């Protein structure tokens, strides 16, 4: 496997985790894609320094954190302090699961969702509709939509946590 393919394989295996890391640091949803692309290129440029004995995820977050800290002075999209940025990096390092494990756990959790809840998630995440549009479609207020989305995210987060523990026990 050539060097580019090796990098891509690792990068794609950690893509969701990397996006989540950026999502936790950048407030504007539109800006997250831009930062993600910038960071992907930064990782590729630094790939020579990657030690395969280390976790790729942790190394990638390290590179991205350094780049974000450099950038935050001139980039208003990155709003948190250096201390918080480092703390977020630590949190991701501490709680990283194996590739695909969270996806698998989430799939299980989504099966248990009521139809109405799933409908809101499809509108929000599948179609990218803003709360106001979902509200119009479902004849509820935008506040209710936002509250429902927050509640669903929290419930799913909790469910994924439990599911990860349960799966870990089953796998011994």
Partner 1 sequence: MDDASPIHNFLNGVLTDDSVVALDARLEASSALVDELAELSRIDVLLAGHYGAGGMSEENARHLLVAKPAATCRKWPAALIGAAAIIVLGSAGIYFWPKRESRNASTQRAFERVDSSRALVPPRPRTPPDSSAKETDRAPLDTSDEIHDPRLMRIREWLANFYLPAIDFDNVPIGQALAELESMLREYNHLQRPELRTLEVRADTDLQSGTQQPRIKLAATNATFLAALRAVAAQARARIEWGENAVIIASRPAGRSRDEWVEQSFPVPPNFLSHPPDATTSGVFQTGKDDSVRRRSPIEVLREFGVQFPASAFAEFDPTSSILNVRNTTTNLAIVDSLVGKEGMLSNPGAMIYVSGKLFELPAGVSPPDQLVEEAAVQQWLENLQRQGGVQMVTVPAVTTRSGTPAAVDVAGEIVGTPARSAEWQGTRIEVLPVFEGEAIRLAGSIDLRRPDNANEVTIRDNAATPESLATEAVDFEAVMIDNHSAILLLGDAGSASQVVAAFHARKVSPSSKPTERHDPAPESNLPKEPGKPAETSPK
> Site residues (CB under 8 A) for partner 1?
4, 7-8, 11-12, 15-17, 19-21, 23-24, 27-30, 33-34, 37-38, 40-41, 44, 71, 75, 79-81, 83-84, 87-88, 90-92, 94-95, 102-103, 106-107, 110, 121-122, 124-133, 135-137, 146-147, 149-150, 153-154, 156-157, 160-161
- Indicate the residue among 54 and 132 with the shorter CB distance to partner 1: 132
What are the CB-based long-range contacts (under 8 Å, 24+) for 140-145?
145/120
Q: 78 has which bridge partners?
A: 26
Long-range contacts of 167-170 (CB under 8 A, 24+ apart): 167/101, 167/104, 167/105
DSSP characters for 25-36? HB--HHHHHHHH
| In the complex, minimum distance from the CB of residue 49 to partner 1, in angstroms, rounded to a whole number | 16
Is the CB of 52 or the CB of 81 nearer to partner 1? Answer: 81
- CB contact set of 53 (below 8 Å; sequence gap of 6+): none
Cβ of residue 36: shortest distance to partner 1, in angstroms?
A: 9
């Amino acid at each position: 496997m050539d060097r580019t393919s090796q990098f891509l394989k690792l990068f794609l295996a950690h893509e969701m985790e990397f996006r989540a890391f950026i999502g936790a640091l950048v407030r504007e949803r539109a800006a997250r894609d831009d930062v993600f692309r910038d960071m992907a290129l930064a990782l590729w440029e630094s790939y020579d320094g990657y030690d395969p004995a280390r976790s790729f995820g942790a190394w990638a977050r390290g590179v991205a954190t350094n780049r974000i800290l450099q950038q935050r002075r001139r980039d208003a999209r990155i709003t948190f302090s250096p201390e918080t940025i480092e703390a977020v990096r630590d949190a991701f390092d501490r709680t990283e699961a194996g590739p695909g494990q969270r996806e698998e756990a989430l799939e299980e959790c989504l099966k248990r969702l009521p139809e109405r809840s799933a409908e809101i998630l499809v509108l929000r995440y599948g179609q990218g509709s803003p709360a106001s549009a979902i509200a119009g479609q479902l004849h509820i207020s935008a506040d209710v939509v936002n509250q429902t989305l927050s509640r669903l995210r929290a419930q799913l987060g909790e469910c994924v946590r439990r599911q990860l523990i349960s799966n870990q026990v089953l796998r011994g």
